[in-house]
Amino acid sequence: MPLTVQQRQPVSIIICAKNEAANLLNNLPLILTQRYSNDAGIELYEVIVINDNSNDNTARVLAGLQQQYAHLKIIHSGPDDQRILKGKKHALSIAVAHTSCEWLLLTDADCAPASDQWLALMTAPLANKKEIVAGYGGYGTTAGMLNAFIRWETLHTFIQYSSYALAGRPYMAVGRNMACTKKALLKAQSSHVWNALPSGDDDLLVNIVGTADNMAIVCDPLAFTFSEAKETWHGWVLQKQRHLSAGKYYKWPVKLSLALYASSHALSWLLFFILLLIHHPLAGFAVVYMLFRCLASWATLAITARKLQEKKLFYFFPLFDLGWMVYNFVFFPYITWKNKTTWT
């Protein structure tokens, strides 16, 4: 539930942008027109956009929007700035230093909020002493198998990290849609692992600061954000390499349980096909086992897909469940030891 007007506290929305002119032109007005004000109707939030050394029309777009919205603050970071932190971390640290509020809401330039209640819903748990709030960052629906798989993988990932958080073992969120306190973010920035990657600020924040009691999950459809999915497999693979690079910094109990889940998933499918191919006496048992396993997983996916308004993904199971096994083999190096060196 969103906060009452009396419960609301000032919020700083942070967007780090690098060559994002088109996305800012399309999405920033939706962020600048959130319904979040006090009793007098005065807006209780600021939007801070840091233009990190862009060479497109980002500066011009931001200047034009600032003439319409007084609560838009623009920061420019150029090539001559001293860069102690890598990649996006540099831009984020500058933005945080310019915030005037203790509640922060983080999103990306290519994200559009689902409604004008996004800000109120995403920050509501902060009033209940939570320090980190994870929301759902979905992707727009277009034709094609790639788009369907991207949305399926996003849904599957949300099931994982939200269930872990609710079970008291938070390990990740998506920077496209998360809120936190300034105190929590500053604590994360002071950690020795913060600058290990040029991106991964969302996952590292949760791993450094997250506890069994201080993280909340928001899955109200009005609090979603939506981005345009990659249109090529190559582009998506590069994006996932960057997203998964923070996995090696998860806490060991979480890494172990995630590894066991992925391994058991892969072994189930591999053994199933092997038993069928060699006509093993246990092949009949394998068929029954896989049937019940798929039905249970399908039911979980269907319930979550309906809640996250992704009903059409229901029909792609178990095809994408099998595809997720391939996914883990392909991205294993980036989950375990490789780092993606850029954040764009």
What is the average pLDDT across 317-330?
Answer: 85
Which of 221, 249, 277 terminates a domain? The answer is 249
Note the pLDDT of residue 238: 86
What is the average pLDDT across 65-78?
Answer: 94
Sign of CA dihedral 160, 162, 163, 168: positive
**Over 90: is that where the pLDDT of 107 sits?**
yes
**Over 70: is that where the pLDDT of 98 sits?**
yes
Provide φ and ψ at 139, rounded to 5°.
Answer: -125, 145
Domain membership flag for residue 343:
no
Nearest residue to 227 via CA among 30, 14, 13: 30
**Over 90: is that where the pLDDT of 17 sits?**
yes
- Same structural domain for residues 106 and 201? yes
Domain membership flag for residue 217:
yes
Domain membership flag for residue 42:
yes
| Residue 4 CB contacts under 8 Å (≥ 6 apart), including other chains | none
Distance, first Cα to last Cα, the chain: 34
- Same structural domain for residues 320 and 187? no
Element (H, E) at 149: helix 145-166
- Same structural domain for residues 84 and 171? yes
- Integer-rounded Cα radius of gyration of the chain: 21
Note the pLDDT of residue 257: 93
- Same structural domain for residues 206 and 218? yes
What is the average pLDDT across 2-24?
Answer: 89
**Over 90: is that where the pLDDT of 93 sits?**
yes
Quote the CA–CA distance of 61 and 59 in Å, as a whole number: 6
Q: What percent of the chain has pLDDT over 90?
A: 63
Element (H, E) at 17: strand 11-17
Domain membership flag for residue 110:
yes
What is the average pLDDT across 25-44?
Answer: 92
- Same structural domain for residues 206 and 295? no
| Both tokens assigned to 78 | 């150029």
What is the average pLDDT across 129-133?
Answer: 96
Q: What angle do CA 153, 159, 165 make, to 5 degrees?
A: 135
Quote the CA–CA distance of 127 and 243 in Å, as a whole number: 29
| Both tokens assigned to 27 | 């999405």
- Same structural domain for residues 261 and 224? no
- Same structural domain for residues 189 and 284? no
Helix, strand, or coil (residue 16): strand
- Threshold 0.85, pTM exceeds: yes
Q: What percent of the chain has pLDDT over 70?
A: 95
- Same structural domain for residues 46 and 120? yes
How many structural domains compose the chain? 2
**Over 60: is that where the pLDDT of 160 sits?**
yes
Domain membership flag for residue 341:
no
CB 205 within 8 A of CB 156: no
- Same structural domain for residues 84 and 185? yes
Note the pLDDT of residue 342: 59
Query: 107: which strand partners?
Result: 15
Note the pLDDT of residue 5: 72
What is the average pLDDT across 90-112?
Answer: 96
Q: Tell me the DSSP string of 86-146.
A: -HHHHHHHHHHHT---SEEEEEETT-EESSTTHHHHHHGGGGGT-SEEE--EEE---SSHH
- Same structural domain for residues 20 and 84? yes
31 residue type, one letter:
I
Note the pLDDT of residue 344: 58
Domain range holding 161?
11-249
**Over 80: is that where the pLDDT of 336 sits?**
no
Q: What is the dihedral of CA 228, 231, 234, 239, to 10 degrees?
A: 0
Which of 185, 215, 249 terminates a domain? The answer is 249
Q: Assign 114 a pLDDT band (cuts: 50, 70, 90).
A: very high
CB 94 within 8 A of CB 86: no
Query: 12: which strand partners?
Result: 46, 104
Q: Assign 138 a pLDDT band (cuts: 50, 70, 90).
A: very high
| CATH classification of the domain holding 243 | 3.90.550.10
Domain membership flag for residue 237:
yes
Q: Tell me the DSSP string of 43-89.
A: B-EEEEEEEES--SSHHHHHHHHHTT-TTEEEEEE-TTS---S-HHH
Domain membership flag for residue 28:
yes
Write the CA distances from 262 to 193, 215, 250, 259, integer angstroms: 25, 24, 15, 5
- Same structural domain for residues 82 and 43? yes
Domain membership flag for residue 1:
no
Which of 249, 277, 304 terminates a domain? The answer is 249
- Same structural domain for residues 15 and 132? yes
